[in-house]
Structure 1
Amino acid sequence: MTLEACTELVRSGDPDRFGAVLVARPEDRPSLITLYALNLEIARAPFQSSEPMLAEMRLQWWIDRLAEMGMGKPPPLHDVLTPLWEVWGKDAGFAVPLAEARRRDCEREPLAGPDAVVDYVNDTAGQLMGLAAERLGTPAEARGVVADQALGAGLAAWLRALPRLQPWGLGLAHARPEDAIALAGIAQDTLHRAARSRRLLPRRATGALYPGPNVPQFLNGVLKGNINCFAQVPDITPFQRQASLAWLALTGRWWR
């Protein structure tokens, strides 16, 4: 039950966030690694059964353990929860809303339109980046900047995943290209707004704010109609990922 288990989980399951963790200060990395490992586990929980009720029971187990941790009760020995408790302590309870937001995934109900997608991304990617950035010293007055960055990055990631989400019933109720374009526009606008207010955020928070590789290029492609998000979207190559993370490490620029 060590930090190494969380590290390997994030390395294999979320390589973009793993790369960003390496940019963070060494003393901040355990907080990010354990949080991102938890996020992977609760995101996977609804898919561990095709029966919505069983899927929700699996998710509820995580919610209950996090709530208990928030009240000061240590979790049972576990590859993710034990290191999370050692690093976050009672603050792990702040992740309960992050887990609660995944109940929709258990239901396998598609989202009605762009507004519903924005709400979902705010509750998932937004909660996650908010917790990470606050842990890395982001002041209260900058939470709106983090929320903008999280929404833009989260929408871009959601649109990239859309070809896989649609068959699961977790995408959009209607495969309308104009909805994908609208979401790409919202993502671009919120990322630009966050970039304009970047001075409110400490450099220490860089590792929590990274949106992923090639986000501006991807969003531009969707907006111009060159990328159909309901079909196969372009893969991120290892070179693109490495180059993007190298730029982040070299410059500390989480914005573009």
Structure 2
Amino acid sequence: MTLTACAELVEKGDPDRFLAAMSAPPEARERLFPLYAFNLEIAKAPWITKEPMIAQMRLQWWQDIVGEAAEGAEPRAHEVAGPLASVIQSAQLPVSVFSTMITARYWDLNGDLFTSEEDVIGHIDRSAGSLMVLAALALGASEDQEADIREAAIASGIANWFMAVPAVEAAGRKPFAHGTLAEVKNIADYGLRMLDKQQSTDFGAATPALRAGWRARALLKKAIADPQAVPEGRLDTSEFRRKGSLMLKAAAGRW
């Protein structure tokens, strides 16, 4: 149950958030890596078994981990559970936001279809948006800032969703309500508008949590210019541009 184990999980499973966390001060990483590792654990739960009941039990197990940590109980023996409990307790993170994240993962189990663009955006907010809220709270943001954080987070959540579209479709799920290129452009435009709305907001010590979405603007602009790149898996940028843009943001203390 070490921070190193969490960091290694994130480096392998979520390289963008790993790089963003590594741009943060060491004390911030201690809080970010367990949260990002937790996100990976619940994200993979519906996909590691063909038995829905087992996946539900796994998600409930993580719900219990969070609840026990909030109550101050001794963490269970798991490489992520211990560091996660420490962050929950030291930052007094709200169980309700964790519950929202976990519940969002039932979409991968239930085969539900989105009925509107708003449904897609809402699902992204409940998962990626909630994760960024928890990360920001862990670094010192106030609960009064949750709405602003969610608006800032939705752009990166949408960008990550777009990047995952080929894999989601390959798994037999429908990542959009209508599956049209117009829908891709509309959702990307919404993300950019929310990003613009919060771009000048100073999140102070919580800035490294917001920096996890450093690529959002470039990816969403590309999706608007070439929406076919989303289903075809061509949305990603070069490694040089990916890392270079993060270095500039980190050097300037921006997100």
**Length-normalised TM-score, structure 1:** 0.89
What amino acid is aligned across from residue 41 of structure 1 in structure 2? E
Matched, 1:219 2:223: no
Partner of 1:30: 30
The question of whether the paired residues in 1 share the 8 Å contact of 2:156 and 2:214 is answered with: no
Work out whether 1:193 is the aligned partner of 2:194. Answer: no
Structure 2 match to 1:138: 141
Query: How big is the shift at 1:113?
Result: 2.7
Distance of aligned partners of 1:93 and 1:138 in 2 relative to their CA distance in 1, 3 Å threshold: closer
The percentage of aligned residue pairs carrying the same residue is: 35
Is 1:242 the counterpart of 2:246? The answer is no
Distance 2:86 2:226 in 1: 47
Matched residue of 1:210: which SS? helix
What is the aligned partner in structure 1 of residue 66 from structure 2? 66
Alpha-carbon distance, 1:54 to partner = 2.6
Unaligned runs of 5+ in 1: none
Q: When the two structures are superposed, what TM-score results if normalisation uses the length of structure 2?
A: 0.90
- Residue in structure 1 matched with residue 161 of structure 2 by the alignment: 158
Runs of 5+ consecutive residues of structure 2 not aligned to the other structure: none
Q: Deviations over 1:96-149 (max 9, x none)?
A: 322122111121333223111111011111111011111212234433221111
**Displacement of 1:92 after TM fit?**
5.8
> Does residue 1:175 correspond to 2:179, yes or no?
yes
Shifted more, 187-196 versus 62-71: the winner is 62-71
Runs of 4+ with >4 A deviation? none
Q: Secondary structure at the match of 2:199?
A: helix
Report how many residues are paired.
Answer: 251
Quote the Cα distance in structure 2 between the aligned partners of 1:239 and 1:100.
36
RMSD over aligned CA atoms reads: 2.0
Corresponding position of 2:42: 42
- 1:119-138 matches, cutoff 5 A: 119-138=122-141
Alignment partners' CA distance in 1, 2:89 and 2:212: 27
Q: Deviations over 1:164-189 (max 9, x none)?
A: 11232151253211111110010110
Name 1:51's counterpart in structure 2: 51
- 1:229 is displaced (CA, Å) by 1.7
Could you tell me which residue of structure 2 aligns to residue 11 of structure 1? 11
- Cα deviations across residues 64-83 of structure 1 (Å, max 9, x unaligned)? 22222222222221110012
Q: Which amino acid aligns with 2:8?
A: E
Letter in 1 for 2:211: Y
- Kindly tell me: are residues 67 and 14 of structure 1, through their superposed partners in 2, closer, same or farther at Cα, counting changes over 3 Å? same
Deviates more, 1:2-11 or 1:24-33: 24-33
Q: In the alignment, is residue 97 of structure 1 matched against residue 100 of structure 2?
A: yes
Query: 65-74 or 180-189: which moved more?
Result: 65-74
Q: Give the letter aligned to residue 101 of structure 1.
A: A
Q: Tell whether the 8 Å contact from 1:136 to 1:205 is kept in structure 2 after alignment.
A: yes
Deviates more, 1:224-233 or 1:15-24: 224-233
Aligned counterparts of 1:148 and 1:58: Cα–Cα separation in 2:
30
CA distance, structure 1, for counterparts of residue 76 and residue 94 of structure 2? 15
2:116 aligned with 1:113: yes
For the Cα contact (< 8 Å) 1:214–1:240, is it kept in 2?
A: no
Show CA shifts across 1:31-59 (max 9, x none).
11111111111111111112323322221
